[in-house]
Structure 1
Amino acid sequence: MTSQEIFAQIQKKSSFLCVGLDPDIQRIPKHLLKEEDPVFTFNKVIIDHTIDQAVAYKPNLAFYEAMGPAGLETLAKTLEYLPKDTFTIADAKRGDIGNTSRLYAKAFFEQMNFDAITVAPYMGEDSVGPFLEFDGKWVILLALTSNQGSKDFQVIKNQSNQPLYASVLEKSKAWGTTENMMYVVGATRGESIAEVRKLVPDHFLLVPGVGAQGGSLEEVAKFGMNNQCGLLVNSSRGIIYASSGEDFGKAAKKEAILLQEAMAQQLNIYCK
C-alpha cells in the first residue's frame, strides 16, 4: 500500500485512526469464552464495529504468541477477515541482523502478508535494511516512545547536543524513503512531535498514547500533521475494552466514532 493509498483512505473516512487489536484472554468479555475461538470472535466484533472509522489495524504479536500455535492461527484468521484496503501493522518490534532479520521480514510480509512491521533500530542499518527489500511493505521504526523507560536512552544527547532519537531519525532517512518507512512517536511527548516533524517532514508517524495513556489528539495534530495528514493515531485499550459486557462491540464503536469525529475536525483545520 502506497502513502497515497493510505491518504485516500484517510480522506474517505475522514479519519486517521489505527485500532490496536491486543486481545487479552483475561480481559475479553466472559460470554465469549464459550466460543470455539474466543479471541477471533472478539476481534471480528471489534472490526465489524470500527471498520467505518479505522484506516489501519495493529495486532500486537505478544498477545497472540502468548497463546502458542493456536494464537498464531487466530492472528491468521484475523488478518484474513480484515478488508483488503485496510492497512495492517504487525506490532512485533523485531530488531536482529542479517539473515535473521530477512527471515523475520519474510514471515511477516510473505507468510502473514502484513503491510508493515514495527522495528527496533538499536542494532543499526543491519537490522532494518532487510525489511526494506520488500516492495510495497513498510518499516515503522521506533523513534520516540511514550513509556517511562524511554528516558533511559532516547533523550540522551551526543557531543552535538542532539538527542539519540533525533540521531536515529536523521540516520535512518538514508536507509528508506517516505514510501517504505514510518516512525513511532508517542503522543504523550507533546511538543517533541514538532521536533520530529522538523527532521522527517514528509514521513508518516504512527502515534500511540492517545486516550488511555493521556495523549492529546489536538496536540498530536497541531505538531504532527502535514499536507497529506502524515499521521496514524493508534488506540487500543480505549476502544477494544470500552465495555466488558455483551455490548462491547457497540461500546467500541462509540469510542471509535468519538475519535473519528475529533480527527475529522483536525483534518479540516490542518489538511484541507
Structure 2
Amino acid sequence: MNRQQLFEQIQKKRSFLCVGLDTDVLKIPKHLTGEEDPVFSFNKEIVDATAAFSVAYKPNLAFYESLGWQGWQSLEKTVKYIREKYPEIFLIADAKRGDIGNTSSLYARAFFEKLDFDAVTVAPYMGEDSVKPFMNYANKWVILLALTSNKGAFDFQFIRDDKTGNPLFETVLTTSQNWGTAENLMYVVGATKAEKLKEIREITPDHFLLVPGVGAQGGSLQEVAKNGMNSQCGLLVNSSRGIIYASANEDFAERAGEAARTIQQEMDMLLKEKGL
C-alpha cells in the first residue's frame, strides 16, 4: 500500500486507528480455549468487529513467537484472513527487527514475501545497512523506532550529542531521512511523549508517525492530533489492550467494536478540525 492509498482509507473511514493484535492466550475469553486455534479465533472475531473503524492492524510478534510454531501458524492465518476479507487494511508486523544487512534481508523476506505485511517496525541502532534491506520492496514500509512510549526511553533516547546538542532520537530522525522517503519510511513516536510531537513535526513534516501509548498507557489522543497531525493526517494511532480486552466474556468482540467505534468517532472530529 502506498502513501496516497493509506490517506484515502483514512478519509474514507474517518479514522486513523491502528488496532494492536497483542493476543495473549492467557487473557482471551475462557470459552475460546476449546477451539482448535484459540488465538486465531479470537483475532478473527476482533477483526470482524473493528474493521469498519480501523485502517490498520499491528500484531506484536512476541505474543505469537512465545507459542512456538503454533503461534506462527495463528499469525499466518490472521494475516491471510485480513488480506482476503479486508484487503484495504494496512498490516504492520510489530517485530522490532534490525541486524546486519544479510540478516535484515531475510527478515524483510519473511515479513514482506512470506507473510505479506505492509510494514515492519525496525530498530535503528545498527545503522543504515541494517535498515536498507527492508526498503527494497515497492509499496512496503519501514517503521523506525524513534521516540518510544516506555519508561526506559529515557535511558538512551534523550542522551545529547556533544557536538550538536541534539538528543539521540532527533539524530535518528534526521539521519534516517537520507535512507528513505515519506513514501516508505514512518517513525514510532509514543503518545506518552506527545509534547515532543511538535518538535518532531519540524524535523519530519511529511512522514507518517505510528503512535502507540493511547489508552491503557495514558497517552492523549487530542494532544497527539494537535501536535502531530499534518495535511494528510500523517498519524496511525495504536490502541491494543483498551480495545481487544474491553471484555473478558462472551461479548468480547461486541465490546471491542464499541471501543473502536468510540475512538473512531473522536478521530472523525479531530480530522474535521484539521479540515480533512
TM-score, length-scaled by structure 2: 0.98
Q: Which of 148, 152, 156 does residue 149 from structure 1 map onto?
A: 152
1:174 paired with 2:169, answer: no
Following TM superposition, by how much is the alpha carbon of 1:103 offset from its aligned partner in structure 2, in angstroms? 0.5
Provide, for residues 96-128 of structure 1, a one-character-per-residue CA deviation record: whole Å limited to 9, x for no partner. 011101010001000111000000000010110
SS at match of 1:256: helix
Which residue is equivalent to 1:212? 216
Aligned alpha-carbon RMSD (Å): 0.6
1:240 paired with 2:244, answer: yes
1:158 paired with 2:172, answer: no
Distance 2:22 2:55 in 1: 17
- Identity %, equivalent residues: 63
Following TM superposition, by how much is the alpha carbon of 1:271 offset from its aligned partner in structure 2, in angstroms? 3.9
Opposite residue 88 of structure 1, the aligned amino acid is L
Structure 1 segments unaligned to the other structure (5+ residues)? none
Check the 8 A contact 1:187/1:215 in 2, yes or no: yes
Which residue is equivalent to 1:84? 87
Following TM superposition, by how much is the alpha carbon of 1:133 offset from its aligned partner in structure 2, in angstroms? 0.8
Distance 1:5 1:32 in 2: 35
Opposite residue 199 of structure 2, the aligned amino acid is E
Following TM superposition, by how much is the alpha carbon of 1:95 offset from its aligned partner in structure 2, in angstroms? 1.1
Give 1:30-41 correspondences, 5 Å limit: 30-41=30-41
Following TM superposition, by how much is the alpha carbon of 1:56 offset from its aligned partner in structure 2, in angstroms? 0.2
SS at match of 1:39: helix
Q: Which of 114, 118, 140 does residue 115 from structure 1 map onto?
A: 118
Opposite residue 106 of structure 2, the aligned amino acid is L
Check the 8 A contact 1:156/1:164 in 2, yes or no: yes
Provide, for residues 12-64 of structure 1, a one-character-per-residue CA deviation record: whole Å limited to 9, x for no partner. 00000000001101100000001111110000000010000000000001111
Q: Which of 97, 102, 115 does residue 94 from structure 1 map onto?
A: 97
SS at match of 2:33: helix
Check the 8 A contact 1:228/1:271 in 2, yes or no: no
TM-score, length-scaled by structure 1: 0.99
Structure 2 segments unaligned to the other structure (5+ residues)? none
